[in-house]
Amino acid sequence: MAIKTAWVIGSVKGMNYNVTIVGSPSTTVTGSRYLYHPTSSRSLLGGMVSAMSLSGVDNPIAVLTRDRKVRLSATEAFAVDWGGDPTLMNLLGFTGDLPLSLTHTATNVSPLLFSPGKPLLSELSPRGTLGIRRPLAYYTMSPSDGSTFVVSHGDRTDQRFSASHVDIERVFTSDEAGGEWVRWFDEVAAKGYQFYVYLDVNEEAGSSAIASLSDGLGPYVWVPSARAPSWDYRRARGFDWTDFLADVSLPCRDAPEYS
């Protein structure tokens, strides 16, 4: 059954991972990239397409399916050797080298993608807008006559997304195979990496259809409440003594785009 949800798609900075396609000389996926981005040079999926193309694979395609999984395909069979470093493999959701085949679908959801399985609430601004503008200023007022003095350093845009009663399997699991909030936080938010929020995504378990991602909101970075980034595990209201449902809050601020 299809559901309407939001996808939070994170990134990795300073990538430099070797991958070998169909026995060709290894190619390198480099740069700072989101799992998905409409600009290929900023997309990890785009990096895989480039690597496959450079290795002579005909019509390479890398997509996210509505099941949240990465799928690599081409019009000729190809194999993938991750070169002994599992980092790129894990970021894409695969669990081992890929044998000759026309299509490879990841076993796990990428740890760079979080979906609460329901829409996200935009708490600080109308839905579909980046956020609320906050002046970065030092503001003083005279207690005697009310005169003011302001030193301005421009402004930034803040937002806070949230979802209540999220299935625990999407928030906190023991194996953290990918797709859970706890894993996404460690891989993206805690490292200060940029991310986008895609609203109104049609998601469907087991579907092989390509996910349709409209213009995302962002890029954002996590805004910690203290010096070190952290989050609190909160059981959903009415389920205080069970671990079936939990609430998720995502405080964030606009960030410069990767070059």
Structure tokens at 144: 């005697």
Scan for tokens 């609460």, then name that residue. Answer: 116
- Name the pTM for this structure: 0.93
Per-residue pLDDT tens digits for 113-145: 999 999 999 999 999 999 999 988 888 898 888
CA 14, CA 7: separation in Å to the nearest integer?
23
Q: What Å distances lie between residue 82 and 14, 19, 98, 222, CA to CA?
A: 18, 5, 9, 30
Scan for tokens 């009415």, then name that residue. Answer: 238
Residue 196's pLDDT band, with cuts at 50, 70 and 90, is: very high
Give the Cα-Cα-Cα angle 13, 53, 194 (nearest 5 degrees). 20
Mean pLDDT of 217-237: 93
Question: Would you call 111 exposed, middle or buried from its count of C-beta atoms within 10 A (0-12, 13-18, 19+)?
Answer: buried
